[in-house]
Amino acid sequence: MPRNQQIVLDNRPQGEAVASNFKLVAVDTPALKDGEVLVRHHFLSLDPYMRGRMNESKSYAASQGLGEVMIGGTVGEVADSKNPKYAVGDKVVGMGGWQEYSVVDGNAVGALRKVDTTHVPLSHYLGAVGMPGVTAWYGLVKIIAPKEGETVVVSAATGAVGSAFAALAKARGCRVVGIAGGPDKCKYAVEELGFDVCIDHREHGDLKSMSKALKEACPNGIDGYFENVGGYILDAVLLRSNAFARIAVCGMIAGYDGQPLPLQNPALILVNRMKVEGFIVSEHMEVWPEALKELGTLVGTGKLRPRETVAEGMAAAPEAFLGLLKGKNFGKQLVKLI
């Protein structure tokens, strides 16, 4: 069995996460038991939710254990199998974590999913046609539930979730406004992802400026907002939201280092009779087949052209992850392992 490089959580962050929170180790891969599958990972997904798991605090999921392999989605191929449902060479998606190989119980429900790479590249199953894409689908379809002609807004607009959100919302006849960091990302959002407008939050770095930019971008107000960031951006959205607006709360990256994120005008939620709903996409597995079918079609037909930022090798994962938290990535952040 092969030697396996892994990255484990060595110690918890004190405020901002740093590279020394992680440790690269190498271990022997255990021999397969009946029913198990050995997966060689081709790509590892890096996602903002991982930052919250590094803290030892109450959240929607258990904290990442110290000395344990960092949690994370993976795509790869079956390298060895003692399970009749999986053959060597099958392409699979799973939660193999920050390591080169994983041994998986092939009979465990949801542990592995075979994928077809004929029309969709393998790496996209970690982004547009994977968890981030389904996250965008659920927030838009099940919470915001937009009508044709409504205006919807998404923060972190050019990331894996935001780019899928744009394609899904345009397919439903919405006016779609994004918020992203930097002119290059905003240009990509409009020219390649199909956003009607993209606001550069680096240019509008406070509540007054962002509120003014949203007023110009959303002349008919905001009917739906997909929240990835929090902070002053959420305050600005609340100021510009219409009566009966819906907010799908997916992430609060502005607060992942532990600082509180108070709202300036929470009474607007009542005044405008708004719906604000947080969700975790893994709790809604029943929608995944429908969502993945639509997302696969959008990618296959070229209506969704997601970008990827790819770091090379397991040792590069910590710095790539820290860059993701600061918005240094362009599109989906991956680590290529072979």
- Residue 57's pLDDT is what? 75
Query: Which class does domain 131-282 fall in?
Result: alpha beta
Q: What is the DSSP letter of 99?
A: B
Domain spans of the chain, in order of start: 3-127+306-336, 131-282
What dotted CATH number matches 3-127+306-336? 3.90.180.10
- Residue 110's pLDDT is what? 87
- Residue 256's pLDDT is what? 77
Distances (CA, A) of 174 to 150, 153, 165, 231, 337: 5, 10, 11, 25, 38
Query: For 180-188, which contacts have Cβ atoms below 8 Å and span 24 or more sequence positions?
Result: 180/156, 181/327, 182/327, 184/330, 185/157, 185/158, 185/330, 188/158, 188/307, 188/330
Distances (CA, A) of 18 to 10, 22, 183, 328: 11, 8, 27, 15
- Residue 116's pLDDT is what? 92
Encode the chain (338 residues) as per-residue pLDDT tens digits. 899 999 999 999 998 999 999 999 999 999 999 999 999 999 999 999 899 899 987 676 778 999 999 999 999 999 999 999 999 999 999 999 999 999 999 999 989 999 999 888 999 999 999 999 999 999 999 999 999 999 999 999 999 999 999 999 999 999 999 999 999 999 999 999 999 999 999 999 999 999 999 999 999 999 999 999 999 999 999 999 999 999 999 998 888 777 888 999 999 999 999 999 999 999 999 999 999 999 999 998 999 988 999 999 999 999 999 999 998 999 999 999 99
Same fold, 3-127+306-336 and 131-282: no
